[in-house]
Amino acid sequence: MSKINTTKNIINVSGVHRRYELAGQSVHALKGVDFQLAYGEFLSLVGRSGSGKTTLLNIVAGLDRPSEGTTYFKDQDLGSMSDEGLAILRRHHVGIVFQSSALMPLLTAYENVELPLRIQKISRSERDRRVKENLDLVGMIHRANHRPYELSGGEQQRIAIARAIITSPDVILADEPTGELDSITARKIFALFRDLVNERDISIIAATHDRALIDVVDKVVELKDGEIA
C-alpha cells in the first residue's frame, strides 16, 4: 500500500539510500532519507559539507537514481521513468540553480535566459516577452546584453535564477545558490526566492551552509551524515 499523499506534497522521498561504489570502497551517502516538499513551500536543506545535500538534490531532480527507495514528483514515480522521461520532466517542471551559475560563457544574459525557451521551440515574440519579464523580475533587465564575465557573481546568479524560472517550473532546486556570494547579496537571492514562492506559487528547495539565511524560509531540513537530523 502506498502512503504517498499526492495532494499536499509536490515531492515525496521515501526510504532513499545512495551508495557510491568506488574501486572496492563504498560510500553510503544517504542512509534511508524520508523527505517531503509541500506545494508552495520554501524549504532550506542544511548540513555540513559531505552530509549528502547535493546527492539528495540530484536524486530529487532525476539527475541521479537512488540505490534504494522511492522518489515521487507529484504522482509520478521517478524510479519507473526512463532517462529520457526524466529529462522531459526536468525541462518542463523543474528549474535547477547550481552553486556557481553555470551560464553559457559566449551568450549574453538575455540569450542565456532565452535558451530553455528555444529548446522548447517557443515562438520568437513569446520568447522575447518572457525573457524581458523574467530579467525584470530578477532586477537584471539593464544588463541584458552583458556576457557572464561582464557581470558580478551575484548578477550571474540572478541570471541563472531567471533562466531556471523562465519555463514556469513547478519547483526550483537550488544547490548552494549563494555559496560564492557575500552575505548581503545572498540575502537578496533568498528574498527573491521568497517572492517567487509567494507570487508565482513555485515550490523551492535551497541547500545552504549559511544558517543566517534561513529566517525567510518556511521549513528547515537538516542532513547529518546522510540522515535527516
| Binding status of residue 66 toward ligand ATP by CB under 6 A | no
Site string for Mg ion, 51-80 (x = CB under 5 A): --xx--------------------------
CB of 175 to Mg ion, least distance (A): 6
Residue 140 in grid coordinates: 537584471
Query: Judged by CB under 6 A, which stretch of 53-61, 87-95, 151-159, 212-220 contacts ligand ATP?
Result: 53-61
Distance CA 78, CA 94 (A): 13
Closest CA to 207 of 11, 51, 93: 51
Which residues, 6 or more positions from 182, have their beta carbon under 8 angstroms from its beta carbon?
A: 154
Closest CA to 210 of 191, 174, 186: 186
| Binding status of residue 178 toward ligand ATP by CB under 6 A | no
CB of 163 to ligand ATP, least distance (A): 21
| Binding status of residue 44 toward Mg ion by CB under 5 A | no
| Binding status of residue 35 toward ligand ATP by CB under 6 A | no
| Binding status of residue 20 toward ligand ATP by CB under 6 A | yes
Residue 51 in grid coordinates: 552530509
Which CB sits closer to ligand ATP, 1 or 22?
A: 22
Cβ atoms 129, 160 nearer than 8 A: no
CB of 54 to Mg ion, least distance (A): 3
Amino acid sitting at position 102:
A
Closest CA to 12 of 203, 209, 150, 229: 203
Which CB sits closer to ligand ATP, 1 or 23?
A: 23
Which residues, 6 or more positions from 54, have their beta carbon under 8 angstroms from its beta carbon?
A: 175, 207
Cβ atoms 172, 97 nearer than 8 A: yes
CB of 30 to ligand ATP, least distance (A): 8
| Binding status of residue 50 toward ligand ATP by CB under 6 A | yes
Q: Residues interacting with ligand ATP, by CB under 6 A?
A: 20, 22, 27, 29, 47, 49-55
Q: Residues interacting with Mg ion, by CB under 5 A?
A: 53-54
